[in-house]
Amino acid sequence: MSKAGHIFLSLALLLAIGSCSTNQAASDEIRVSAAASLSDSFEAMAVAFEAEHRGVEVVLNLAGSSTLREQILGGAPTDVFASANLSIMNEVADVGAVGGEIEVFAMNQLVIAVPAGNPGGIDGLEDLADDGLLVGVCATGVPCGDFAREALAKAGISAAIDTEEADVRALASKVAIGELDAAITYLTDVAGNAELEGVAIPAADNVVATYPIAVLADAPNPDGGAEFVAFVLSTAGRSILAAHGFELP
């Protein structure tokens, strides 16, 4: 074989090895887009999953469900989507972007989050109409924002809203540092957080958030995505969710 032939063969082998390495790296990574209210539980889920699947990395993308929907529909590479409500998941499914079965894996309820010690003296939803208090909700179109408005409407309360946040974690953080006197968040955002207290919303006015999960149609790693979904639905995954305050179906 000529010298040029040897060089060509070597380059071909290097390209093949590089291609295999890239494919191997992709198969070892699972991209999960999850609602912001799932942050703590899915971070724990990722650690537990990786411990059972050596060499696999779960890459979490945590944001408001509506933001995640737009990213997915815009072509962002995603293996698994976990939303904070069924309607957003159905919107993704309606355009053919869901490849696997949609499974409901958790439920959540609303609560009025206040700073530790409740300095604003919040007793219930009616107090959120007080112009003298700093009150926050999530933005319209974000599940926690839509649910909050639904609860307020049920109670017949016109809240004096001072801020609307893109996701519930940003909202809860503002309450925790004292920038807000109160905000309507999920029960799981308050549970176990020493900087926050929760004021209950009566069942008649409350809203139950239902969380669906699915592997996406264009998932770069559909097999890995399916394994992660199976873990979320497993006894181990359910235990993690329960430990973070979620109700289980």
Name the residue ranges covered by the structural domains of the chain. 3-106+211-243, 108-208
Classify domain 3-106+211-243 by CATH number.
3.40.190.10
**Cβ pair 51, 44 in contact under 8 A:** no
Query: Residues 107-162: pLDDT tens digits?
Result: 999 999 999 999 999 999 999 999 999 999 999 999 999 999 999 999 999 999 99
Cα distances (angstroms) measured from residue 179 to each of 105, 129, 192:
33, 17, 20
Query: Rounded mean pLDDT of 31-38?
Result: 97
Q: Locate 97 and state its tokens.
A: 């972007």
Q: How far apart are CA 66 and CA 78, in angstroms?
A: 15
- Name the residue among 178, 176, 205, 204 with its Cα closest to residue 189: 176
**Cβ pair 21, 170 in contact under 8 A:** no
The model's pTM is: 0.84
Query: Rounded mean pLDDT of 161-179?
Result: 96
**What's the pLDDT at 27?**
63
**What's the pLDDT at 242?**
97
Q: How far apart are CA 88 and CA 110, in angstroms?
A: 18
Q: Locate 151 and state its tokens.
A: 């609860």
**Cβ pair 59, 31 in contact under 8 A:** yes
Does 61 score more than 80 pLDDT? Answer: yes
Q: How crowded is residue 73: how many other Cβ atoms within 10 Å of its Cβ?
A: 12
- The answer to whether 3-106+211-243 and 108-208 have equal CATH topology is yes
Q: Locate 41 and state its tokens.
A: 């539980």
Query: Residues 202-229: pLDDT tens digits?
Result: 999 999 999 999 999 999 999 999 999 9
CA dihedral (107, 84, 91, 153) in degrees, to 10, reads: 90
Q: How confident is the model at residue 10 (pLDDT cuts 50, 70, 90)?
A: very low
Q: How far apart are CA 129 and CA 111, in angstroms?
A: 16
Mean pLDDT of the chain: 91
Query: Residues 192-208: pLDDT tens digits?
Result: 899 999 999 999 999 99
Classify domain 108-208 by CATH number.
3.40.190.10
